[in-house]
Structure formats: C-alpha cells, structure tokens
Structure 1
C-alpha cells in the first residue's frame, strides 16, 4: 500500500456559482471517490479549505534561519484556480490513486502526490 495526498483545485467562484444540480453532481462524485477508497484502501482524512481570502503566507527573507519573517495575507501565488481541499489516502498503487481521482468532478484539476518518510 502507498499513501497519497490528493489535492483538489478549482476556480474560486465555482461553488458559489454552481447550480443545485451541479452541487448534487459534486457531492455524488465525492461519495463515489470515498466509496472507491473504502473498497480499495484507507482514507486517513480529508478537508475542504477556506478560500484564499483567508490564506496567510509565511516566508523567511534569505536562506538562513535568522532571516526576517515575512507574513502576508493571501495565497502564495496568484492563480485562476486554488487548492480547495485534499484527501489523504492509502491505496495499493498509483494506478488506484488515478482511478479514484478520476471519480472526482471533471471541472477539478487534481494533483496526486505520494507521501515520503523522512527519517
């Protein structure tokens, strides 16, 4: 089994502008994803994220640890899409992760990232 974080990106206003029918489609797609993961692996957690207007970005000036800490309101990068949620799942392999991700709404951009152990 391998562990993956599946990042979900979509347009900032997609949910607010979605019809009730589209929202029902989103919910059904997420339910299908969850059922697939439940059948083939383990869901370690998931969450929807607040919009980028609630983001805080922290950077250090320079490469040393003593650099000035810069805190700004807003996302790290200006993009048309933002990461709006994630799943932390364990599945047999990348092929299963791709199959699960393909069940999510087609309007999403989905990035699959395997986790690594740092020891």
Structure 2
C-alpha cells in the first residue's frame, strides 16, 4: 500500500455562501465515511485560512518567522485527506469523488517511501 495526499485547493479571495459551504461539508463527510469503509482512510483535516499560518525559514544557521503563507498565490491549501491505496489509479478515483464532493480542485501527490 502507498500513501497519497489529496490536497484541496481553494481560492480564499472568493467568498463562500454559508449554505453552499454547509452542503460541501456534508458531501465531503459522506465521501470521508466511504473512504473509511473501504479501508483507505489514514486521516484528514481542514485548515484555517492562510493568514493564520507562520513560515519558519532557515538561513545562515538560524531561522526567521513570518506571518502568512509561504507564497503569494491565488490558490491556497484548504484541507486534505491522507489515504492508502494499492496504486495511483485508486488514489485518483478517490480524488475524483473528493473533488466532486467539495467542489474544489484536488492535487494528488504520492508520499515518498523514504522515511
């Protein structure tokens, strides 16, 4: 089994109507339950907006800390699933269902086997 990150991409500049957000959360909860039932579940989580992040940057043997996202970009990481699957095709099938449920793009990335 390989592990895959299903990263939910969001555009924080577009406000989400509360009723649509509730519907998306209900759909994603249902897909999460299906992932659990299939035995592919590892864990998942939603994230606070990018302004709540802190970047710790190394340099010259020390670190600096800055508030906000690492990169200025339109899309931010809004949440994720970590799943275990036999192969990429299975992970992509789950990503397809997740994307439809949350109405957001999903980036699928395999974990490196090196620990």
Please indicate, yes or no, whether the TM-score normalized by the shorter chain is above 0.5. yes
- What TM-score do you get using the length of structure 1 for normalisation? 0.79
- Residue of structure 2 in register with 1:83 after alignment: 77
Aligned mates of 1:99, 1:36 — CA distance in 2: 12
- What TM-score do you get using the length of structure 2 for normalisation? 0.82
Stretches of 4+ aligned residues off by more than 3 angstroms? none
- Residue of structure 2 in register with 1:61 after alignment: 59
Say which of 96, 106, 109 aligns to 1:110: 106
Q: Give the alignment's Cα RMSD to 1 decimal.
A: 2.1
Q: Greater Rg, structure 1 or structure 2? A: 1
Q: What's the CA shift for 1:32?
A: 4.0
Q: What's the CA shift for 1:13?
A: 4.7
Structure 2 unaligned runs (5+)? none
Aligned pair count reads 113
- Residue of structure 2 in register with 1:17 after alignment: 16
Structure 1 unaligned runs (5+)? none
C-alpha spacing 1:45/1:104, structure 2 compared with 1 (3 Å): same
